């Protein structure tokens, strides 16, 4: 019989007996049970605040759970006088969705009739029926909406969008200030809703990668403001203010697994690096790492498709260069965000984004010490010049090229945003690798403006962590990138380069679970001989019959660049045949070009083989998306 692992930490508010009892249960719990329980507990917590088991019914209604209704009391009808609020979110990595879930919880607690709604499942034409609307949307790439929200976005921007005179709304944008179009989608939604006649309640919030505390405060404040407005407003008489059908969170799991485990974003697990291999053969221009981490005794679980967030440490040379350029001493004592006294060097190393140059940062820098050249760059008309300046430069270049005499340590650290965690798609199934997680990471190194540049996290993993050392990490669930629930469903996977990582996880999962569905992988990279990541494993899967087909495109082996989309076209009839059979289609990897090319190619294939017009083919592909049969994990 299995002994109990110590999952409940000593400082938890349980007696030793209670802790032992919980450990006993948690040790034996399946992943599915854990997922269910985590969702249940997060809802149950709300109900406790509202008193007794009645809250459990509330949990049901508000859709945080997807539980078997027979095990719980039947839903209790709510008084219809409550103000309603819809938290409309557009998510890519799951952060907007987590915030939406939090907002909904808080709204319910305040007495709203709250629902959360994924833009993928929503129509802008329903907006006039809303009373209060909170929009939470992230921005990707060159100011683009999340993949799942793109259709909603384009419809909202089109002529067909309805007027929304009575709607109170507020927008929270998520983004990354190191990109030029920072929080662009938040801005776009905000101005469009106003243009359509919406009544903005409170200022928009543009959050950077270190978004949590800012977002939490904004959600609290916005909900309170909305509540005040609602109380002051004349009650809606139409009676149809809120849609009758509340939509539950899509997918089968109730909530991110980080809720269940004591380790999560706020408390990353110090995971031991077990193994590191450069997958590219000698002579390759690429450096792709296969990393194996231990999850032993962490309680962390994940599903194929999830990502791991790594908290890196900066490169000491870069930090030293910054401190040197600022003319400061590395030992200078500063106070960390947690209030602990630390020296300047270790603070920047561990806590600060010491590389990403952004307009925001240049602005702050310029404010510290006005400089004509920077002022010129910051003018609205100099957008292109600014972009050109930022390209290939890091913070250190700003300090070196525009030194500020007598820059104080506090001024320096004020410039930085918090060092964001980096997400990597998981390359393993936990069922095939108990208590381990594997990642496939491309080491980023390049040379610009007379300096060698290194990707912060990829070179942290490549150079600065030794095997046997610990790396803080947590699981970032991605519920929009999942194997089909039905093991018989065929899948087509397109994953060039490190994009192949989740498909290694998919194949391991389908092998361990004996899933019978057909599997077809499209893979590509530069050179067959040196860059065929996990080649021996694919050969074995193919030999075993698990990997039904595999097609490869190596772009630098021939004078003409051949990419995965070209291979797709060569097999367009078979691909369409698989889709008609019900296959799910997955894409992982580069967002800027590959994913767009693959998307266009997919439409072409449907058009060519299904004898459809381009519009019909686009509808066909959109329908695949809607039915979760076309999923992307692109970056």
Pairing type for strands 519-525 and 549-554 reads parallel
Q: Provide the minimum distance between the beta carbon of 438 and other proteins in the complex, in angstroms, as a whole number.
A: 11
Pick from 409, 416, 405: nearest CA to 333: 409
Q: Is 457 in the site for other proteins (CB under 8 A)?
A: no
What stretch of H or E contains 577? Answer: helix 572-580
Q: Is 511 in the site for other proteins (CB under 8 A)?
A: no
With CB under 8 A, what is the number of residues at the site for other proteins?
Answer: 27
Among 371, 535, 555, 622, binds other proteins (CB under 8 A): 535
> Nearest 5°: CA angle at 423, between 152 and 553?
80
Tokens representing 301? 């679980």
The nearer residue to other proteins, 234 or 536, going by C-beta atoms, is 536
Q: Provide the minimum distance between the beta carbon of 556 and other proteins in the complex, in angstroms, as a whole number.
A: 11
Q: Is 529 in the site for other proteins (CB under 8 A)?
A: yes
Quick one: CA torsion of 251, 252, 254, 258, rounded to 10 degrees? -90
CB–CB of 334/411 below 8 Å? no
Listed ranges 120-128, 183-191, 279-287, 378-386: which one lies at the site for other proteins (CB under 8 A): 279-287
Query: 3-state SS of 158-169?
Result: CCCCCCCCCCEE
Pick from 78, 84, 140: nearest CA to 117: 84
Tokens representing 213? 């505390």
The nearer residue to other proteins, 74 or 536, going by C-beta atoms, is 536
Q: Provide the minimum distance between the beta carbon of 308 and other proteins in the complex, in angstroms, as a whole number.
A: 20
The nearer residue to other proteins, 211 or 541, going by C-beta atoms, is 541
Pairing type for strands 168-174 and 205-207 reads parallel
Among 42, 84, 280, 584, binds other proteins (CB under 8 A): 280
Listed ranges 47-55, 79-87, 463-471, 536-544: which one lies at the site for other proteins (CB under 8 A): 536-544
Q: Provide the minimum distance between the beta carbon of 571 and other proteins in the complex, in angstroms, as a whole number.
A: 11
> Nearest 5°: CA angle at 267, between 210 and 91?
45
Q: Provide the minimum distance between the beta carbon of 290 and other proteins in the complex, in angstroms, as a whole number.
A: 7
Q: Is 278 in the site for other proteins (CB under 8 A)?
A: yes
Q: Is 21 in the site for other proteins (CB under 8 A)?
A: no
The nearer residue to other proteins, 236 or 550, going by C-beta atoms, is 550
The nearer residue to other proteins, 456 or 533, going by C-beta atoms, is 533
CB–CB of 582/489 below 8 Å? yes
Q: Which residues in the 538-597 window bind other proteins by CB under 8 A?
A: 538-539, 542, 550-552, 554, 557-559
Query: 3-state SS of 242-311?
Result: CCCCCCCCCCCCCCCHHHCCCCCCCCCEEEEEEEEEECCCCCCCCCEEEEEEECCCCCCCCCCCCEEEEC
Listed in sequence order, the residues at least 6 apart from 386 whose beta carbon sits closer than 8 Å to its beta carbon are: 359, 362, 377, 378
Q: Provide the minimum distance between the beta carbon of 282 and other proteins in the complex, in angstroms, as a whole number.
A: 5
Separation of first and last alpha carbons in the chain: 44
Tokens representing 453? 């540049």
Q: Is 26 in the site for other proteins (CB under 8 A)?
A: no
Q: Provide the minimum distance between the beta carbon of 279 and other proteins in the complex, in angstroms, as a whole number.
A: 5
Among 530, 548, 555, 618, binds other proteins (CB under 8 A): 530
The nearer residue to other proteins, 69 or 539, going by C-beta atoms, is 539
- CA separation, residue 197 to residues 184, 245, 343 (Å): 20, 25, 52
Beta strands in 380-429 (DSSP E): 422-425
Site string for other proteins, 179-218 (x = CB under 8 A): ----------------------------------------
Q: Strand, coil or helix: what is 173? A: strand
Among 277, 467, 512, 569, binds other proteins (CB under 8 A): 277
Q: Is 279 in the site for other proteins (CB under 8 A)?
A: yes
Q: Which residues in the 281-310 window bind other proteins by CB under 8 A?
A: 281-283, 290
Q: Is 274 in the site for other proteins (CB under 8 A)?
A: no
DSSP state of 519: E
Q: Is 429 in the site for other proteins (CB under 8 A)?
A: no
Q: Is 260 in the site for other proteins (CB under 8 A)?
A: no
Residue 49 CA to residue 61 CA, distance in Å, equals: 16
Among 347, 474, 520, 534, binds other proteins (CB under 8 A): 534
Q: Provide the minimum distance between the beta carbon of 330 and other proteins in the complex, in angstroms, as a whole number.
A: 38
The nearer residue to other proteins, 474 or 522, going by C-beta atoms, is 522
Q: Is 493 in the site for other proteins (CB under 8 A)?
A: no
Name the site residues for other proteins (rule: CB under 8 A).
277-283, 290, 528-530, 532-539, 542, 550-552, 554, 557-559
């Amino acid at each position: 019989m299995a002994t109990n692992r110590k999952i409940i930490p000593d400082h938890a508010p349980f007696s030793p007996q209670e802790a032992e009892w919980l450990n006993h249960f948690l040790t034996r719990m399946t992943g599915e049970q854990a997922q269910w329980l985590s969702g249940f507990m997060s809802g149950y917590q709300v109900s406790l605040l509202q008193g007794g088991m009645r809250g459990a019914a509330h949990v049901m209604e508000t859709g945080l759970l997807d539980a078997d209704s027979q095990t719980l009391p039947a839903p209790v009808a709510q008084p219809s006088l409550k103000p309603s609020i819809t938290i409309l979110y557009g998510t890519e990595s799951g952060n907007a969705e987590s915030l939406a879930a939090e907002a909904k919880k808080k709204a319910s607690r305040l007495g709203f009739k709250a629902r959360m709604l994924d833009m993928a499942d929503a129509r802008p034409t329903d907006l006039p029926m809303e009373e209060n609307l909170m929009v939470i949307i992230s921005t990707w790439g060159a100011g683009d909406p999340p993949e799942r929200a793109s259709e909603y976005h384009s419809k909202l921007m089109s002529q067909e969008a309805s007027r929304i005179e009575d709607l109170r709304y507020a927008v929270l944008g998520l983004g990354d200030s190191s990109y030029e179009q920072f929080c662009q989608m938040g801005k776009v939604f905000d101005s469009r809703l106003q243009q359509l006649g919406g009544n903005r309640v409170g200022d928009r919030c543009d959050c950077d990668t270190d978004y949590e505390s800012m977002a939490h405060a904004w959600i609290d404040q916005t909900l309170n403001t909305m509540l005040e407005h609602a109380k002051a407003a004349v009650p809606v008489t139409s009676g149809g203010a809120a849609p009758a059908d509340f939509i539950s969170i899509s997918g089968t799991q109730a909530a991110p697994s980080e809720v269940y485990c004591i380790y999560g974003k706020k408390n990353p697990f110090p995971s031991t690096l077990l193994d590191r291999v450069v997958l590219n053969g000698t002579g390759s221009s690429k450096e792709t790492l296969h990393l194996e981490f231990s999850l032993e005794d962490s309680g962390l679980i994940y599903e194929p498709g999830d990502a791991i967030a790594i908290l890196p440490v900066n490169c000491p040379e870069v930090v030293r260069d910054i401190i040197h350029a600022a003319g400061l001493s590395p030992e200078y004592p500063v106070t960390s965000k947690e209030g602990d006294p630390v020296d300047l060097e270790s603070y920047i190393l561990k806590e600060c984004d010491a590389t990403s140059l952004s307009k925001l940062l240049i602005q702050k820098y310029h404010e510290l010490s006005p400089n004509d050249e920077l002022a010129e760059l910051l003018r609205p008309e100099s957008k292109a010049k600014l972009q050109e300046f930022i390209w290939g430069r890091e913070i250190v270049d700003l300090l070196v090229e525009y030194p500020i005499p007598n820059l104080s340590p506090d001024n320096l650290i004020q410039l930085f945003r918090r060092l964001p965690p980096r997400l990597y798609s998981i390359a393993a199934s936990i069922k095939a690798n108990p208590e381990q997680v594997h990642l496939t990471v491309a080491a980023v190194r390049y040379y610009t403006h007379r300096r060698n540049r290194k990707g912060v996290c990829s070179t942290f993993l490549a150079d600065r962590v030794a095997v046997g050392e610990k790396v803080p990490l947590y699981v970032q669930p991605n519920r929009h990138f999942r194997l089909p629930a039905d093991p018989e469903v065929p899948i087509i996977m397109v994953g060039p380069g490190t994009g192949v990582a989740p498909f290694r996880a998919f194949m391991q999962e389908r092998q361990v679970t004996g899933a019978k569905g057909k599997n077809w992988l499209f893979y590509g990279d530069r050179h067959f001989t040196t860059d065929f990541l996990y080649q021996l494993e694919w050969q074995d899967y193919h030999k075993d019959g698990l990997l039904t087909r595999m097609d490869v495109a190596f772009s630098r082996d021939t004078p003409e660049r051949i990419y995965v989309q070209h291979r797709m076209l060569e097999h367009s009839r078979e691909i369409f045949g698989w889709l008609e059979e019900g296959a799910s289609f997955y894409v992982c990897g580069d967002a800027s070009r590959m994913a767009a090319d693959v998307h266009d190619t997919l439409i072409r294939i449907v058009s060519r083989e299904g004898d459809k017009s381009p519009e019909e083919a686009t509808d066909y592909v959109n329908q695949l998306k809607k039915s979760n049969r076309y999923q992307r994990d692109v970056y």
